[in-house]
Amino acid sequence: MAAVGRTRVGKYELGRTLGEGTFAKVKFAKNLETGENVAIKIFDKDKILRHKMVGQIKREISTMKLVRHPNVVRMYEVMASKTKIYMVLEFITGGELFDRIARNGKLKEDEARKYFQQLIDAVDYCHSRGVFHRDLKPENLLLDSNGVLKISDFGLSALPQQVREDGLLYTTCGTPNYVAPEVVKDKGYDGARADIWSCGYLPFEDSNLMSLYKKIFKADFSCPSWFSTSVKKLIKRILDPKPQTRITIPEIIENEWFKKGYQPPHFETAEVNLDDVDAIFSESGDATNLVVERRDEKPVPMNAFDLISTSQGLNLGTLFEKQMGLVKRETRFTSKLPANEILSKIEEAAKPLGFEARKQNYKLKLQGEKSGRKGHLAIASEVFEVAPSLHVVELRKSKGDTLEFHKFYKSLSTSLKDIMWKSQEESSGSVKS
């Protein structure tokens, strides 16, 4: 039986929101038949249709079905209701490679080599299936509890049918700092060679987009002094602005630096049928796996599985502790006040900071009135019940700049110190930014 205030989708019980974007949100969930923890990416059908995103979502689902590799986030199944689409994904607990790099400043060479080997293996496999990721970057590289790298977010991926007769792709996409020069030029590009560029290290930084592109076109970069000569040579071959002479994956695998300690992965490939992808968007009224909607009468209880999902791996010590020097995209504090009172206090404190609030059940959406570095800052806040007189309050950046979110939270927490029982900031002292 589902817990009070929970939503159940088929055999899955939905928990807390792990992240959200313009067209989808990702929720922690539990398979009630097996007890396995999963992540479910939820798309709103109406929003997808309105923004003409059907093709892109079909591509993402098709890609996830095609790609079965130990270094790629696994998709278990896709479900649809009349209003939503649900992608059931492997739940990864180790966080982003981006956060690991930011936390440590740099990786040891052997550790970096291990991740690079896993990345190249996964990219090579994707290309063998006719799939080009087109948005490879540290934020899309996750680590599981054993430190194994997993590629995620195939939302911008390209499939074989998008390749034109000349064998090239023509859609400009990706994150500017990591995108290959031929993609920016918009004259057609080889998806495989463009992905190889993005496997390199990020030397291209500039607040001015045109200046950034000039650096990319010239491959104007220098490696840090601690890089070994072998690494520098390999990076130079990867970040070759001419795709025709850029190193290929078979050449990378034969590279002496790459081969040290290299063990190719062993896994089974299965035949995949994509005929059912169109059925997900079917308007027929016999859709299976309908959501059992249930209006929350009190905050969603946060059980042990949810507590683990808020932390990296099983280390609950990080629940309310902030790693020094790392600006996170979400933060939490606990409070002994009633849930409604907590949300009202957050709403009151956010108004003078220039934020409009929209409350629904035990969730609060805060929207910044002024546009920042990456558009308007938007924050989702939710209250979870841990015990009858104890709540966990989560504030999560849903849009905008992470540093601006951090500054907002510092200002907000000053106003909320009377209602906080224990905050992340109090656990770890001041945070460098």
Integer Cα distance of 178 and 200 in angstroms = 8
* CB contact at 8 A, 370 and 385: no
Tell me if residue 135 is catalytic.
Answer: yes
Of 121, 124, 135, 153, the catalytic one is 135
* Residues 204 and 223: beta-carbon distance below 8 Å: no
Distance in angstroms (rounded) separating the CA atoms of residues 425 and 407: 12
Determine if residue 41 is labeled as part of a ligand binding site: yes
List the structure tokens of 138: 């540290």
How far, in Å, CA of 294 to CA of 282, rounded? 25
Residue the block writes with tokens 């928990």: 15
**Residue 283 contacts by C-beta under 8 Å, 6 or more apart in sequence?**
none
Residue 410 burial by Cβ neighbours in a 10 Å radius (0-12, 13-18, 19+): middle
Please list the residues that pair with 302 across neighbouring strands: none
CA distances from 431 to 352, 407, 428 (A): 23, 11, 8
As annotated, the binding site for ATP includes 41
Q: Catalytic amino acids?
A: 135
